[in-house]
A and B are shown apart, each in its own frame.
Chain A
Amino acid sequence: MSTPLTEAFAERMQSVGGRISYTTAEGLAETLGGLVERDRPVLFTPELRDLARQLRDVGHEAYVGTREGVAEQTEAAFEGVLERAGTGVSGSLLGISSTGSIAVGPGGGNGGLLIAFPPHSVIILQADSLRKNLAEALPEVERRFDELDGEAVFVSGPSRTADIEMMSVVGVHGPTGLDVIIVEGKEA
C-alpha cells in the first residue's frame, strides 16, 4: 500500500545506502527479528519496551537501552552491553519524503546514542508520519520541541565519509547499516 510519499522517501533513502522494509503494526516484531544479528545484544529506546520483550521472547538478547533497562535484566554493565550491541532500534517523529530523512527524538534518554553507536541501526517509521519536505517537517518538530527536550536528529542514511580521495565510504563512526522499517496501516 505504498503512496507517492513513501515511494519517494524509499527511493531517496536507498540512494544513500539505507535499506527499507515494509510491515504492519502486527508484523513489526517479525520483520525486525529478520533484520538483527542473533548473537549480539539489541538495544531499544524505552518507548519500544514491548517490542524488546517480543524479541526476547523469541530468543534475542534484547534490552531497553538505558542503564536501568540493562540493570533490570542482567548483571552486566551498561557500558559493556552497549559496546557489544549489534543493533540499536529507535522510534521516530516523522519522515521527510523529498530528502529521504527521518527525524528522531531523544528516545527516552539514549535515543541519540542508539542511532549512532551500534554498527547497525534500525529506525521505525510510521507511514502516516511522512511529510513532503523540510518546509513541512521543521515546523512540526518546532511545535513539539519542548516535549522533545530540544533534542532531534534528522537522519538521512547510514554514517558516511568521502574524506579519502572523495570516495564514498559508508559507516565511519556511526552505523554501517541503516534499516528503516515503514509501518503501514491496514488497507483502507
Chain B
Amino acid sequence: MATTSKRNLREEIHRSLEDETLQRAITSAMATLFERRKGALESIDFEETRLEARRLKEEALERNPELLEQLVRKVEGYGGKVFLAKDGVAARTYIADLAVEKGVKTVVKSKSMVSEEVHLNAALEEEGIEVVETDLGERIIQLAHERPSHLIVPAVHKTKDQIIELFARTMGVENPPTEAEDLTRLVRDDLRPRFMKADMGVTGANFVVADTGTLVIVENEGNARLSTQLPPIHVAITGIEKIIPSLEQLGTFLELLPRSGTGQLLTAYVSLITGEPSTDVLDMGRANGGQVTEREFHLVLVDNGRSEAREDPELREALYCVRCGACLNACAPYNQVGGHVYGVDPYPGGIGCAWTWITKGPDSAKEINGLCTTCSRCTEVCPSMIDIPWLNTVIKQRNNERLGMKFRDRVFARADLLGDVSSPFAPVVNAVMKTPLAKVPMGRIGIDRTRKMPEYARETFEDWFQKRGQVTVREPRREAAMFVDCFINHNKPHVGEAAVQVLERVGVKLELAHNECCGRPAMSQGSLDKPRAWAKKNIERLYQLVQEDKDILFIEPSCLSSIRDDYRRLLENEGEETMRKLDQIEERSWDVTEYFLHLVKEERLDLHLRPLDETFVVHGHCHQKSMGIGSVPGEALRLIPEADVIDVNALCCGMVGSFGYKEEYSELSRAIGQRLFDKLNEHEGTVVASGISCQSQIGEGTERDPKHPMEILIKAFA
C-alpha cells in the first residue's frame, strides 16, 4: 500500500516542539510512566523474567502455523466462528458484513490496536452503524477525530483543559466539570446506555491460548468486561502473532505486561474468556432495532503482513511486541514530539516503524525511520527484549537499497575515510570548515549549517602511540589492546592519550588493536555491507588478541556497543564458529572506565590519587546505560578525594553520532539536548561525558568544555 501524501517531517517536528501544550502533556506523562514502571519491577527479577518471556515468544512464533490450526479447531469446536483475515480489508469487511447481516445498530469497542490497524470503525460507520470507543482515552480521540499517540495511553498528547473543551464541544455539555474524576464520570454516564443497547462488542486480545481457545484481555477500566458481557455478539479481533500454546505460559507474560505498561503488579481486570459468555442476553439491543437474540462469538485473526514478517529473519522479532509502550516512555525523540509525529497510523515510535513496514509497507515506514537514534534505551526496558534499534537499522538499509542512499548519509557513513583524508591537512580542513564557503555545500547536502563540525587533530592517536615507542610498565597486572575508534583517533586523540596514561598507572601493558572501524557510523546510516566486512576482520583481529590473553578496551561506548550488541545480528549468517569467537571477544571487551574501576576493585589498588576539590557533573552515555554500565563514570570519579560528583539523570544528549547534524533532525536534537543542558547547568563545575558526540552536543549547547572521565583521572594521578 503506497502512501498518498508525503509527510514533511521537519515541519511536523518543528510544530510539535513549538506546541507548549503538547510538550507539557507528554513530558509529565512519560516521566510518570517511567517511574511507575521502575517501582513495579522491584518485586521481580526483570532480566530473568524477560529472558523467559523472550524464549516463550520465540517458541510460540516458531510454532505459529501449527498453533493457529489448533486454535481454529478449538474455537470452532465450542461453537465460535473463526475468520482468518489475510489483510485489513478482509478483516474489516468480515466484521462490517456480519454487523449488517445481524441488524446491528450500535457497536461498543474496547481498546484494540489491530482494529485501528485495519480501520474497522470507518468500515462500520460506512454501513450506518454507530461505533462507540469505550476506553476513556480512545473515546477522547474518537471524539477529537484523531488517532492514538501512545500504545497504552492513546490520548496522552492531550491536556485536561483540552479534554474539557472537547467534551463541551462534542458531548453537548454546557459547563463540563473540571476535575479528572468528574470528567471520567461524565463519560461513564454517557456510555452506560450505549453499552446497554449495543448489539455487538468488539475487543482485542493481549494473548490467545491455542489449546483452550481462550482470549486473555488485560485492562483497567472494566470496559472490556462490559463489551464482552453485555452485547449478544462478541467479536474479538487480534493479530495471529498473539497466539501462545497454553495457559502455562501466561504467568510469565502477566508478570511483565502490567508492570512494563502502567507500572501495576496486575491490572484491575485480567479476563480469560473462552467462547461466548454465559451471561443473560439483554433485551436492550433488540429494543433498539437489533435482531440478535442468541449469543455469538467471532474471532478474527489478522495476518496483514505478519506471516511474511515471520519468515523474515531480521524483522521477525517485531512480532514479539506485547504493546506495553515501555519503549516509547524511554525514547528521547518520542518524549519530545509524541506519537503523532513519531508514528504512522496507528503504531507509534521505533517499534511502530517496524510495524508500519510489516502492515503498511516500506514507503510508509521510511518517513519516520530516521527518528530512531539507535540509542538502545528502548531495548533496555522491552519485556520481550526486542532490538528496536536494529529493526530500524535494517529498515533504513532496505530503503537505501530500494531508493538509493542520500549523498550526505554516504559521507556520514565513512567516518573512517573522512578522518584519514582530513588529519594530514588538519589545520587547513578545520579552517575551511568554519568558512561560509564550506557551509554552502554542507547545507546543500542536508547538513545543518549552524552546527560546528568536529575539528581534526594533526597527529592521530595512533601516530602518538607509535611515536612514543615502547613504554615499560613494571610488573604489568594485565595486558590489553586499545580499540582505536575513528573519532578519538582523528578528532580527540588527547582523550586516548589520557586513557593510555591512566591505564599504565594501574599496571596495564597496552598496545593498539589495529582494528577497522567498528561500523557504527555506517550502520546508523543504514549501510550494512561495509560494516559486515569490517566486523569480520575485527573479529579475526580481536580474537587473535583474546588468544594472546589480552583484554580489549574501548574509549567510545558506542563502538563497544556495536561489538556487544550489533555484530551478533550483523553476522547472523556466519555460523557458530564466528559466534563462539564473538562470545570470547565480548567476555574480554571493556569500556575503559569500566575496566579501570574493575581493576581498582579487584586488585584492591591503593591509588594515592591527588585530591581535586572540584565538582564533576556527569552525563551518562546512552550506550553505557544500555550495556548496564551507566554508573561507571561517576563511580570512577568518586575515587578522587574531595571530588564532588553529581550524576545527572537525563534521557539522551540528542546528538547521537550524525543525528544532530542532519538538517531535518537538528532542531529535535537540540530540543532533546536542552533538557540535559538545563540539568547540567543547575550545577557549576566540570561537565563529564564519555561519548564524543555527547561532548560536541553539550559543548555547543552549554558553552562548557566536557571532559572524558579519563581526562579527569589523569589529573588526579599527576
Contact = CB atoms under 8 A, between A and B. Distances in A.
A164 B160 contact: yes
Max chain B C-beta neighbours (<10 A), residue from A12, A67, A78, A116: A116
A109 B279 CA distance: 5
B222 A164 contact: no
Nearest to B159: A165
Contacts of A106: 278
Nearest to B32: A166
Nearest to B29: A166
B181 interface: yes
Interface residues of A, number: 54
B225 interface: yes
B43 A98 contact: yes
Contact of A163 (B136, B181, B228, B273): B136
Interface residues of B, number: 67
Given A150-B272, A153-B270, A99 B181 contact: no
Max chain A C-beta neighbours (<10 A), residue from B29, B191, B229, B248: B229
Contacts of A164: 136, 140, 155, 160, 163, 180, 183-184
B16 interface: no
A156 B40 CA distance: 15
B681 interface: no
Interface string B217-254: 00011110110111000000000000000011011001
A154 B266 contact: yes
B136 A172 contact: yes
B589 interface: no
A154 B222 CA distance: 12
B640 to A, nearest CB: 41
Contacts of B191: 173
Given A67-B280, A117-B226, A174-B221, A165 B269 contact: no
A25 interface: no
Contact of A161 (B184, B196, B278): B184
B702 interface: no
Interface of A: 12, 16, 66-67, 77-79, 82-83, 96, 98-101, 106, 109-110, 112-113, 115-117, 134-135, 138-139, 141-142, 145, 149-167, 169, 171-175
A134 B212 contact: no
A167 B214 CA distance: 32
Nearest to A70: B280
B275 interface: yes
A116 B225 contact: yes
Contacts of A112: 225, 228-229, 271, 277-279
Nearest to B139: A163
Contacts of B181: 167, 169
B265 interface: yes
B646 interface: no
Contacts of B188: 171-173
Contacts of A109: 278-280
Contacts of B282: 78-79, 82
Closest 9 CB pairs of A and B: A174-B222, A150-B274, A159-B222, A163-B137, A116-B225, A172-B221, A163-B136, A154-B270, A173-B222
A138 B248 CA distance: 8
B160 A98 contact: no
B25 interface: yes
Interface in B164-184: 180-181, 183-184
15 contacts: A82-B282, A98-B265, A106-B278, A109-B279, A112-B278, A113-B225, A115-B225, A135-B251, A155-B268, A164-B160, A165-B180, A167-B180, A173-B134, A173-B195, A173-B225
